[in-house]
Structure 1
Amino acid sequence: MAALHPSRVRPYVERFVLDGQSVRLTQAALETLAVVAYKQPVTRSRISAIRGVNCDGVIRTLTSRGLVEECGTEPESGAFLYRTTTLFLEKLGMNSVNDLPPLAPFLPDDVEEVADASSS
């Protein structure tokens, strides 16, 4: 088998390495990522309750892109817990999730009560 010349392989390697880096996140992915960032560690059911829709597919997407990761299980239910990753922080230019801006001014006063009621 003849060796491949680097100039012939380069476009394929670049596409593989850069895949996903220039692709924008959907609105659902951004909303889910925000919930994880502010509520971590958090279960999928809690994320779904806060957003009001099933988030399983979006969590898989965020996990595959390296923005969210599993970080243990909830003691009561055994459900997986999710948190943001170092890559998430790097993409936003932050050192810690403590650098996230306060969220309270943008939320209705009863957001926690609504989320708790829908997850019960």
Structure 2
Amino acid sequence: MNTTDARRVLETALICAPQPLSLRELGVLFDMELAPDTIKSLLGDLMTEWTGKGVELVQVSTGWRFQSRPEMRAFLDRLHPEKPPRYTRAAMETLAIIAYRQPVTRGDMEDIRGVTINSLIIKQLEDRGWVEVIGHRETVGRPALFATTRQFLDDLGLASLDQLPALDGNEVSEATLGTLDFGALVAVAPEDTPPQSPLLVGDDPPTNAG
């Protein structure tokens, strides 16, 4: 198979795939006869070929996929005007802490935020597939250690945690993730917005509340 045909096979598979495809999965297309480096080179050629179009080829945590460019969202949203899930600022700040300080316990998160964290917030992030328990800290009570998932990276179009924006000093907050492409994924509820469901409640009272 020549290079042109190989690119066409890759292009077709990636366009038709419902999920990102790993290098190993792409290798199966060629009965594993193409080396991973060769496939990477062909993928690089495809990325160049799609430059300037409304769709781009990107590498995310679990593999490669075609996706619409951010500037196309305003037009595509007209086809599917459903509102994205709403998350409180407390939920987004909790997610930011996990992303930048992982692995962390609930107690670690509460120390950083200075307030107790409603367990429903963590459950919401788990249900969304963005965080998971990866172990337990060997201390009293063996608290669960939380970390972000590959799904979290895929949803943001990132290949690794190294691509997260740099912290402004040492502060971790909801605003830290503001430069990422969350617009198509979530809507952040204003702090004074009444909760829409049990999963959208805010924090419990501060730990030092009298």
Q: Give the corresponding residue for 1:71.
A: 134
CA distance in 2: counterparts of 1:47 and 1:106, whole angstroms: 14
CA drift at 1:105: 3.0
**Which residue of 139, 145, 166 maps to 1:102?**
166
Q: Give the corresponding residue for 1:45.
A: 107
CA distance in 2: counterparts of 1:101 and 1:65, whole angstroms: 22
Greater helix percent: which structure?
1
Q: Give the corresponding residue for 2:90.
A: 28
Aligned-residue CA RMSD (Å): 2.1
Deviations 1:63-110 (Å, cap 9, x if unpaired)?
1111110000011231100001111101111111111111143639xx
Q: Give the corresponding residue for 2:145.
A: 81
Deviations 1:23-48 (Å, cap 9, x if unpaired)?
13211110000000000000001001
What stretches of structure 1 of length at least 5 have no aligned partner? 1-20, 109-117
* TM-score (norm. length: structure 2): 0.39
The aligned length equals 89
Counterpart secondary structure, 2:86: coil
Q: Give the corresponding residue for 1:9.
A: none
* TM-score (norm. length: structure 1): 0.66
CA distance in 1: counterparts of 2:115 and 2:125, whole angstroms: 16
Larger radius of gyration: 2
**Which residue of 129, 152, 155 maps to 1:91?**
155
Q: Write the letter of the residue equivalent to 1:83.
A: A
Q: Write the letter of the residue equivalent to 1:39.
A: R
Counterpart secondary structure, 1:25: strand
